[in-house]
Amino acid sequence: MGSSSRSFDVGDVHSAVVVEGLTRTQIVQYAGASGDFNPIHTDEVFATQVAGYPSVFAHGMLTMGMTGRMLTDLVGDGRLTRFGGRFTSQVWPGDTLTTTATVTGLDERDGEHLATFEVATANQDGVVVFSGSAEARVDR
């Protein structure tokens, strides 16, 4: 529960499991909360018989949301100044995802200390599903 910041050094690698065995129920929960009810995410019949996928799969934004949780746990609440990336592979029910954040830089801007991170979330087979970067205000 990140509530205060900590200090970082360039090259530090932090990682955390952000979901273990993703459930269809959590995907449905995300559909309800986000408002994205695309049936490729929530409707197995549609996803398999019409869209041609092996099963439903997670919203990219669910993966990014879980990735963001790892970052806010790491840097503290309300401290992100930038967070972005690409969805590089699909996330399926049952997947276990691990987010790794590597400190790539420390800067000072307008009197604030900022840390930049390279961010990657990978599944249980090591396939990267989200790849991006972030910047956060840190104490030093």
Partner 1 sequence: MPADTFPVEAGHVMAFARAIGDFNPVYHDARAAAASEVGGIIAPPTFVQASAHFDDDYPLRPRPGVRWFGSGRFASGTAEADRDDGATKPASDRGTGLHAEQHYLYHRPIRAGEVLTLNVSPGATWEKQGRRGGLLTFREVTIDYVDKDGDVVVSARAVSVMTSQAVRD
Binding site for partner 1 (CB under 8 A): 1-4, 18-19, 26, 29-30, 32-40, 42-43, 45-46, 49-53, 59-62, 64-66, 68-69, 71-73, 76-78, 80-87, 89-90, 132
Of 18 and 103, the one with the shorter C-beta distance to partner 1 is: 18
Query: In terms of Cα–Cα distance, which of 140, 108, 118, 130 is closest to 13?
Result: 118
Min CB(35)–partner 1 separation in Å: 4
Provide the token pair at 50: 């019409």
Handedness of CA 32, 15, 120, 135 (dihedral sign): positive
Of 11 and 30, the one with the shorter C-beta distance to partner 1 is: 30
Min CB(47)–partner 1 separation in Å: 9
Torsion of CA 8, 19, 4, 34, to 10 degrees: 120
